Structure formats: C-alpha cells, structure tokens
Structure 1
Amino acid sequence: MGTSRMFRIFVVLGSAFMVLLIIIYWDDVGASHLYLHTPVSPGPRIPHPPPPKTRPPTSRAPSFLNDIDAFVNQFLEPGTGEPTDPAPVDTGNQSEKAEERYVPRREGKIHLTPVAAELRERQEHRRKLLQEMCANDSIVFPGKNRSFDDIPNKELDHLIVDDRHGIIYCYVPKVACSNWKRIMIILSESLLRDGVPQRDPLAIPRDLVHNSSMHFTFNKFWKRYGKFARHLMKVKLKKYTKFLFVRDPFVRLISAYRNKFELRNEDFYRRFAQVMLRRYANQPTPPATVDEAFSVGLHPSFSHFIQYLLDPQTEKEMPFNEHWRQVYRLCHPCQIQYDFVGHLESAEEDAEHLLRQLRVDNVVEFPTSHRNLTASSWEGDWFNAVPLEARRELYKLYEPDFRLFGYERPDSLLNE
C-alpha cells in the first residue's frame, strides 16, 4: 500500500515538472516558432520614432531566436511597419554600435500629393512584361524554369536585405549600383559617423560602398540561419519590397568596357585584359602590369572584349564577371517577383518614385551623378569595328535581358 501511494506521488510530481518545462520552453521559443509558420501583414508604413526601450543588462536568448524576433517585430506594431524594438540584437546588416546609439530617422516630408498616374502605369507595365516573358515559351535561357530552391547559394550574392525598412535590392553593376548601395547603407544604418548613423550617401567612401561586409545578402543566410535559411529567404521575399535597376544591355557592356579596360585597373588588367591580349591581339607575353601596358598604349579593344564574351572557353574557365553577367543570372526575375523595376534611362523619375513608395524619401535622397555616363546613341560608333556576325551572336547572348526588361532589339546593329 505504501509503495503504491509513493508511486502516485511521483507520477503527480513528474507531471507537474513536465508542465513547468513546457511553459518555460514556450516562453523562450514558442512565439518565434509560431510566427515562422503564421502569415503576418505589415501595417501601412507611417514613419515615426519608435518608443524608447530600456535594455536590461541580463543575458539574451540565443542569437538565432533574436534574429527571428527582430524580423517578426517589424510586422507587429500597428500602423507603422517599424520594428517594435528600435535596436534588435545582431540583425546582420547594421553594426552593434549603431544599434546602441540608434537615432530615429528625420521626418522632413509629408506626402500630400499621390505619385503620378503615369509613373504607376509605367511600373505596372514593366512588372506585367516580366511576368509575360517568364511565362512565354518563345524565350528560353538557362535557369528560367527552375524553382527558387534550385538557385545555388553562391548565385544569391546580389540580393541585399534591409530588415529595418523591409527592402530587398538586387544590384546590377554598371546600373548606378554604387549609389543604390549607398542608399542601402544609409537605410540599414550600418555605417557610423561620430557615433551616429551616416546620413549623406555621397560621404560614404567608394571602398566601403563595395565592401561586402557592409551589406547583408541572401548568400550570407546559410552561415547565420543554417537549415532555416531558405525558409527565411522566402518569407522575406513575400513580405519585403523587392527592386532592381536595369539598362540597355549593349550600352551596359560599353560602360563596363570603358570603366574596366580604358582606365587603369590593375585587377581587371591581370584577370581579363592579359587574357584578351594573348588570345585576340597577338600579344603572347603582354606587359606584367597595367601601368606598363598603358605606357606603351596597349589595352584590349572593344572588339577584343566582345570576342572574349563570345568565346566558349571564357565560361568554361569561370562564370562571367558581374560587370558583364546577364541581369537574369544576377537577379533571377523569373523566380523573384519584383515590386519595382527601374531603368537607368529614367533613373531620376524612377528613383524618386521608388523612395516615395518605400516611404523613405524623408530619410535619404538619391544622389544624381553624370560622371562617366555612356549614351545609347554611341552604340553605332562602338560596334563599328565588331563584325556583323559577332553582333548577332552577342544579341543572342543578351536577348533575354532585352526582352525581359522591355528594350528594343537593336536592328540598326544587327541588319546589314
């Protein structure tokens, strides 16, 4: 009898202990687990300074759970779209110092007039065109029909994430990406000046603009989130505003050539120019440095550059460099439904429209720059020395970018 009573007591105590453990576990991680699988919707982005919150000096939950909470919090404060915690721990794209010395963004503008109907219709047309081209069987290119899960992690390195404002930007080199990266640094508050976040885009040094440590990109998710990475990418792609900027593909190639091979660039000379000179310019032993080459007036011609792009050996050795890689390979427009597609040809209007749509034009303005611009009217001059058949092959190589983003076929270059 005594043994049976003791057994019942142990059962009751054990049950109570298990209930207590469940309660403690739910308090620690239950909310994070719940929100990972429950749809959430942000309220309208009406910017205002987040309420102050005192940080207790006690230990925090594991970094992974804090990251999830920081993400979910963006959608929890009614009527804002701002995180309820103004300084989430370890969000990945802002420094700890910026978190500790968080300065609310300025409220300098009140939007009384709507965005022009013409600009809204322009975006609707560009988005619709992307959808139609991705569904059109007449346009075929590598990777078009794969799923987002099938995209290798290394190919997601151009997608920059700003968790503070819920923005994803796919940057395309030679399409004003330096200034858009500056904008992303300002918005993420990842650069401090005198202890406060930098507010002037043009004050950010160029070497920092292109420093990968300044940007939190999708390909970094694996290191931070492990097996949850792809799931979180999908959640953010669904909830965040996604944008990219593009330009005429042939003009982009001209711009890349001018910037990387007509100017002294030691890295591009050693990696690419020497190869072009050996293969196509009858220079079996080109100068060892770019200074030596320039001193004797030697650099690859634009025609050599086009030969390099069309040479099957080029991609066998390595993928195209990002400065001339096709946009569909950088930004995956058939797997990611972009909310905004900007064109460099209408950059100022598109930038103003986008910043208003993101409700951040009271935080930062897009810096205009006319340095080293390449005009589309120059195409004929640049392609004069390129054989007609090479031009046609080049168009086939970049045809998906022409058609996906609404650029006309350059018939004047492709017809005799």
Structure 2
Amino acid sequence: MGTSRMFRIFIVLGSAFMILLIILYWDDVGTSHSYLHTPISPGPKMAHPAPGQHQQEKLQKQPPPTPRMLSFLSDIDAFVNQFLEPGTGEPTDPVLAETSNQSEKAEERYIPKQEWKVHQMPVAPELRQRQEHRKRLLEEVCANDSVLFPGQKRTFDDIPNKELDHLIVDDRHGIIYCYVPKVACSNWKRIMIILSESLLHDGLPPRDPLFISNDQAHNSSMHFTFNKFWKRYGKFSRHLMKVKLKKYTKFLFVRDPFVRLVSAYRDKLEVGNEDFYRKFAQVILRRYANQPTPPSSVDEARAAGLHPSFSQFIQYLLDPQTEMDMPFNEHWRQVYRLCHPCQIQYDFVGHLETVEEDAAHLLRLLRVDNVVEFPTSHGNTTSSSSEAQWFSTVPRESLRELYKLYEPDFRLFGYDRPDSILNE
C-alpha cells in the first residue's frame, strides 16, 4: 500500500513538473509550426481553483492556449493515464495488467473469442535461457573495451534524431520494435500495424498480417517512430522516449550479417529495382564495371545483360568514398547503427534462423498471441548453406576487410566468425 501511494505521488509530482515546464516554454511550444502535429481536437477540460488577483493579472497577460498546445496537453495526459488503473487513479503494472486488458479488447474487435487458438503451455526453459544468453551477450560486448566500434560508448542523448527512424512504437500494447531490413521486417511491420490499429478495413483492424500489402507494411505513415517524436512533442521528445524505453517491451530480429548482405544484393541489385538501380547500381557500374555511361533505366540495363556483380557490390561497401557520399542504405547498414543495442536495453533478441520459435515466444511475452500470429515461413531464399558459394568470387583480402566492417554485428548477436570463408 505504501509503495502504491508513493508511486501515485510520484506520478502526480511528475505531471505537475511537466505542466510547469509547459508554462515556462509556452511561447516556444505553443506557437511553433514545426514541433507539433496539425491540431485534431482540444484536450479534456480541467478544473482549476479560482486564481488570486496577482494570478489573474498574470493570466490576463498570457495568450490563450492554442489548439496545438491543447493537443499536446492531451497527449501528455493520455501518456500519464496509461500507468493508472482506469477509474481509480491507483498505479498498476504498466506492462502486465494494461497489456493484458488491451489484448482482450483487441481480441473482441478482431474475431469471436471461441475461434482463437490461445496458447496455454508454459514457455520452454530453453527458450527463456536462449533470451537470457542473447541479452547477456549484448551487455558484455557493449562493455568490452577490446571490441570498439563507432558509437559504442555514446549515450542515448548523443544519437541524432534521424538515426532513430527504425524504432516503431505501439502505445496500445507498450511495444517498441526496431526493424532491420532483410530480417523478416515486412511481417513484423504488418504485425505492428495490426496491433496499433493504424490500418482499418470496414472499420476493423485486419486479423491476418498477410492481408496487409508489402507497400502498406513499408509505408512510413503507418508507423509512429522515434524520429517523429520531435514534431509532436518538441522539447519533451527525448524525455518521453526515455520513459517509453524504460516502460515498454523492446525487441529486434537479426540474422547472420554476411547472409543478410547476400539477401540485400539479390533483392535490390541482382533483380530489377528501378529505384535501387538509379541510386546504387549505376554508381557501382561506373566505378567498378568499366561502364562510364550505364543505361538510364533498369529495363535497359537488364536487356543489355548489365547488373553489378556481387564482388563489385562488396567493393562498393569497402570503398571509403561510399560513406563520404551518403550513409549506408538501411538494407546493408550494420544493425548496431540501426538499433543502437549499446544505448537501448532490448528485452527480446530474435534470430531469423530460429524465427518461428522466437516469434511464438515473443508474441506470448507481449500477451498478444491471442490477437495475431506470425505468418508461417516458407524458408529463406538466401540460406547460410549457400554463403560460401556467393563469397567465393570475392578476393580474400576484401573478405577480411568486410568482416572488420561487420564484426560488431557478429560479436553483438553471437554469430561465429566465418573462418571457412575468410581463411580458404
């Protein structure tokens, strides 16, 4: 009872402190057109005691609250309320109780309860041990000074806002997902859309993740990411990020770094993709394939039998000029640069190699396994068994340089050094 009361006092004092900050920065936040979303509706009306004469004079000098300010206050109020038991004002467990409640409500919106398969068996001990091992490994590598890599020792506040665009937030269930391209991210994005109900069909969220098209899954407007916080919350964005990182369940999925590179090459450069051809394939052909004037479109290039070889793609990654021009594309950018595992303490680390077991475990951990299921995998088109064949065309010295470039990902996520490839 004492702990509950102290927590409630903490919530009230924290809310009062935030309101005080809002008053201090009223002009900046209330008038900015770049911080907040276009106003939707004013926040709830709040009763206040009658102000004294001095307070009345002060209030008369202040401008009236703008719709944006009211919307902002409403967001803050909703965020605080999610940690209180509805109707009582008493604090409750923000993950277990609230998430369970949301899951039951969501289940009713999707389909009658009796048609759902709800998993009742306990999680196997080996799956829990697997997660403990993966999380412990992250902590050890991040703390190890003998494995230094860019950004390893910086704080969360040091991460530029533009580098937080892969962290998707679902406030309904208290989930944060860092997506890694070429690691089943399309299906996980579909699941995040279903859970957040950012897409409705006939007034209801879809039940089947595969009902959501690939274009919809990757449409940025469907996802609320950390890099969008600044526009909504302004100066309070970092504070709210940290609160959500502490309270929400955070997860990511990874795969063998070299196999991920092969998958990215096959999907974006070997197969015709107009956007990637213009941005990357033309550059690779000019620099490394003796093609000073490559075809202007991917169809013309395919007709001429031209596309970058895998070896040329690796040469492109190793060329210092590449990152001088622009950061690595997300499909081949290192996971530690996408998801910041040394600054964010992830609660669940999934591997594509064990995706079906890990996905079932995660959905039960999130208490949404009675709402959505991870789509059945039909096998990876790029498997680790074909890895040696792909890298056989790459010079040995280049492979060793490539390993150094991606070594942090190998070490952080427990993938063995590919000695059979590097030492042949």
State the TM-score, normalized to the length of structure 2.
0.79
Deviation at 1:268, TM superposition (A): 0.2
> CA-atom RMSD, angstroms?
2.3
- Unpaired runs of 5+ in structure 2? 1-10, 20-40, 45-69, 86-91
Aligned to 1:254: 262
Q: 2:280 aligns with which of 272, 275, 278?
A: 272
Letter in 2 for 1:33: S
Cα contact 1:74–1:84 (8 A) shared by 2:
no
Q: 2:330 aligns with which of 304, 312, 322?
A: 322
Q: Secondary structure in 2 aligned to 1:81?
A: helix
Between the aligned partners of 1:186 and 1:290, the Cα distance in structure 2 is: 35
Deviation at 1:116, TM superposition (A): 0.3
Aligned to 1:66: 74
Q: Secondary structure in 1 aligned to 2:176?
A: strand
Aligned to 1:338: 346
Letter in 2 for 1:345: E
Aligned to 2:163: 155
Deviation at 1:164, TM superposition (A): 0.1
**Deviation string, structure 1 residues 202-259 (Cα, Å, up to 9, x no partner):** 0101111101000000000000000000000000000000000000000000000000
Between the aligned partners of 1:32 and 1:292, the Cα distance in structure 2 is: 61
Q: 1:384 aligns with which of 378, 389, 392?
A: 392
Deviation at 1:106, TM superposition (A): 6.0
Q: Secondary structure in 2 aligned to 1:196?
A: coil
> Equivalent residues in 2 for 1:81-92 (5 A)?
81-82=98-99
**Deviation string, structure 1 residues 281-302 (Cα, Å, up to 9, x no partner):** 0000000000000011110000
Aligned to 1:409: 417
Q: 2:310 aligns with which of 286, 302, 309?
A: 302
Aligned to 1:133: 141
Aligned to 1:23: none
- 1:103 aligned to 2:109? yes
Between the aligned partners of 1:341 and 1:260, the Cα distance in structure 2 is: 26
Cα contact 2:102–2:172 (8 A) shared by 1:
no
Deviation at 1:75, TM superposition (A): 2.1
Aligned to 1:113: 121
Cα contact 2:186–2:217 (8 A) shared by 1:
yes
390 and 222 in structure 1: CA distance in 2 versus 1, 3 angstrom threshold: same
Q: Secondary structure in 1 aligned to 2:109?
A: coil
110 and 209 in structure 1: CA distance in 2 versus 1, 3 angstrom threshold: closer
Q: 1:33 aligns with which of 15, 28, 33?
A: 15
Structure 1 runs of 4+ aligned residues shifted over 4 Å read 29-32, 34-37, 82-86, 104-107
> Equivalent residues in 2 for 1:141-290 (5 A)?
141-290=149-298
Deviation at 1:369, TM superposition (A): 3.1
Letter in 2 for 1:413: I
Letter in 2 for 1:336: I
Deviation at 1:70, TM superposition (A): 2.2
131 and 395 in structure 1: CA distance in 2 versus 1, 3 angstrom threshold: same
Letter in 2 for 1:254: V
Cα contact 1:75–1:83 (8 A) shared by 2:
no
Between the aligned partners of 1:74 and 1:105, the Cα distance in structure 2 is: 25
**Deviation string, structure 1 residues 307-336 (Cα, Å, up to 9, x no partner):** 000000000000000000000000000000
Letter in 2 for 1:135: A
Letter in 2 for 1:356: R
Percent identity reads 75
415 and 192 in structure 1: CA distance in 2 versus 1, 3 angstrom threshold: same
Between the aligned partners of 2:15 and 2:186, the Cα distance in structure 1 is: 38
State the TM-score, normalized to the length of structure 1.
0.81
Between the aligned partners of 1:342 and 1:145, the Cα distance in structure 2 is: 24
Letter in 2 for 1:383: F
Aligned to 1:6: none
Between the aligned partners of 2:194 and 2:148, the Cα distance in structure 1 is: 38
120 and 105 in structure 1: CA distance in 2 versus 1, 3 angstrom threshold: farther
Deviation at 1:408, TM superposition (A): 0.1
